[in-house]
Structure 1
Amino acid sequence: MPYTAIVVGAGSKIAQAIIEQLIEAPDCQQIIAISRQQTFSNEKVTSFNCEYTEACIEQLCSGLKLNYPVAFTFICQGILHQGELQPERKIEAISAENMRKVFEANTVIPSLWLKYLTPHLKSTEPCKVVLFSARIGSISDNQLGGWYSYRASKAALNMMVQTFSVELARRAKNIKLLAFHPGTTDTPLSEPFQGSVPEGKLFSPEFVAAQLLSLLDALEIDGKASYMDWNHQPISW
């Protein structure tokens, strides 16, 4: 059955790999690719640019024209480091300004996208929504400490995913939410930290995209949120 896919944060390497693989999927007939400045030339892909303010998000979503039911939505937007903004290794490195930036990018903006996209996702057809989280957002898995803002922003995103799923189980039973940990992927986000990655654990964007798409094929619409990794394994919240 023909379907539409929506990819938010389409400028990221993983998102671009997802789009390339969706282009090859026969049933995927329309791809909405949203980013700050990325454009795509394939006939299946419609590119939209957005500054990720709430006003821009609302305006863009209200004007979307979808040709088919939305089967997949990927919210890939997030931040780990940017210039002087780096993961905090100790308490003294915490700054209110940097915390606000990290929470805005990793928790607030993904939540706004889900808020304004939900009217387009409700249908009689299954719709699986991926929000890019991280294992580091697991409270029960935190044994190393550090990276305060990033950890907390992803833990907060996980709570938003859980809470969204409770409401959507009542209001939009066709939607399945997934908080996804892609592993350490060879992208600009992980580049400063790749030196400590064990051999064989630095993944290509193409590998992560393929693993995610195969995971989505196996997920059931069960009215519950899932928190899973690239290897299709559940993560403790």
Structure 2
Amino acid sequence: MTSEQSALVIGASGGIGAAVTARLEASGRYAAVHALSRSGTGFDLEDEASIAAAAARLDGGPAPALVFVATGVLHHGFEPERSWRALDPEHLLRDYRINAVGPALVAKHFLPLLPRDRRSVFAALSARVGSIGDNRLGGWHSYRASKAALNMILRNLAVETGRTHPQAVVAGLHPGTVDTGLSAPFQRGVKPEKLFTAAHSAERLLAVLDGLTPADSGGVFAWDGARVPA
């Protein structure tokens, strides 16, 4: 039976976002599952006005028990840097805008819609390479740094949200290597059992979120539930 709560997926036209949306819709847990994307609804992560307008449309309906930000960029016009010699200001800024600033603005406008009297979750796709403590290889400067910035934003959100929404969970998610357009150029050498379908990734990530408590808020968690080092 559906409850009087909703779920929201940002980036619902991407591989993981579409799979998460489909799984949420099939679960029957929500009165509504809102799927937002640039291609489907004109929602633009780089346009705060479109984010604010989307939040305004949801305000007054069933409160979102889950906000899942499934956006991100790795290549598309820029190759991940193998060396500091390849650093480019436009590449850095582009990755920060989409991977860190965008999710932060989603939080700005959607966190106020979360219910205060029960559990809720705000989650965003991060990446293990955004871990400072786990970085042994270097390179991929723009992507790593933007995901590290996202992880800090999520930690800040967790601290602040915990004061007003004591049952809320804010978390980053590392989905592993998923067979999508984002990872397609970098799948060589990935063992078959480590290359996940989007459907499998969605199943695992939602299961991880179901197992988190407010004590976990602010952390980043891999598809298998393991905490990713800060």
1:186–1:202 Cα contact (<8 Å) kept = yes
Q: How far has the Cα of 1:223 moved from its partner?
A: 7.0
2:32 alignment counterpart = 30
Q: How far has the Cα of 1:77 moved from its partner?
A: 1.1
Q: How far has the Cα of 1:183 moved from its partner?
A: 0.3
1:131 alignment counterpart = 124
In the alignment, the residues of structure 1 paired with residue 80 and residue 171 of structure 2 have an alpha-carbon distance, to the nearest angstrom, of 25
2:42 alignment counterpart = 49
Paired residue secondary structure (1:195): coil
The one-letter amino acid paired with 1:236 is P
The one-letter amino acid paired with 2:148 is A
Paired residue secondary structure (1:4): strand
1:75–1:131 Cα contact (<8 Å) kept = yes
2:81 alignment counterpart = 88
1:58 alignment counterpart = 52
In the alignment, the residues of structure 1 paired with residue 73 and residue 63 of structure 2 have an alpha-carbon distance, to the nearest angstrom, of 30
2:59–2:113 Cα contact (<8 Å) kept = no
Number of equivalenced pairs: 227
2:188 alignment counterpart = 195
TM-score, length of structure 2 as denominator length: 0.94
In the alignment, the residues of structure 2 paired with residue 79 and residue 61 of structure 1 have an alpha-carbon distance, to the nearest angstrom, of 23
Structure 1 segments (4+ residues) deviating >6 Å: none
Q: How far has the Cα of 1:145 moved from its partner?
A: 0.6
2:204–2:223 Cα contact (<8 Å) kept = yes
CA 1:214–1:66: 2 relative to 1, 3 Å: farther
In the alignment, the residues of structure 1 paired with residue 120 and residue 58 of structure 2 have an alpha-carbon distance, to the nearest angstrom, of 17
1:165–1:223 Cα contact (<8 Å) kept = no
Q: How does 1:1-237 map to 2 (within 5 A)?
A: 1-38=3-40, 48-52=41-45, 53-65=47-59, 67-83=61-77, 85-222=78-215, 224-237=217-230
Q: Give aligned-pair identity as a percent.
A: 35
Q: How far has the Cα of 1:65 moved from its partner?
A: 4.3
Answer with 222-231 or 105-114: which moved more.
222-231
The one-letter amino acid paired with 1:163 is N
1:44 alignment counterpart = none
TM-score, length of structure 1 as denominator length: 0.91
Q: How far has the Cα of 1:66 moved from its partner?
A: 5.2
CA 1:139–1:223: 2 relative to 1, 3 Å: closer
1:42 alignment counterpart = none
The one-letter amino acid paired with 1:79 is V
Structure 2, unaligned runs of 5 or more: none
Q: How far has the Cα of 1:19 moved from its partner?
A: 1.0
1:132–1:180 Cα contact (<8 Å) kept = yes
Structure 1, unaligned runs of 5 or more: 39-47
1:88–1:94 Cα contact (<8 Å) kept = yes
RMSD: 1.4
Q: How far has the Cα of 1:224 moved from its partner?
A: 2.9
Which has a greater percent of helix? 2
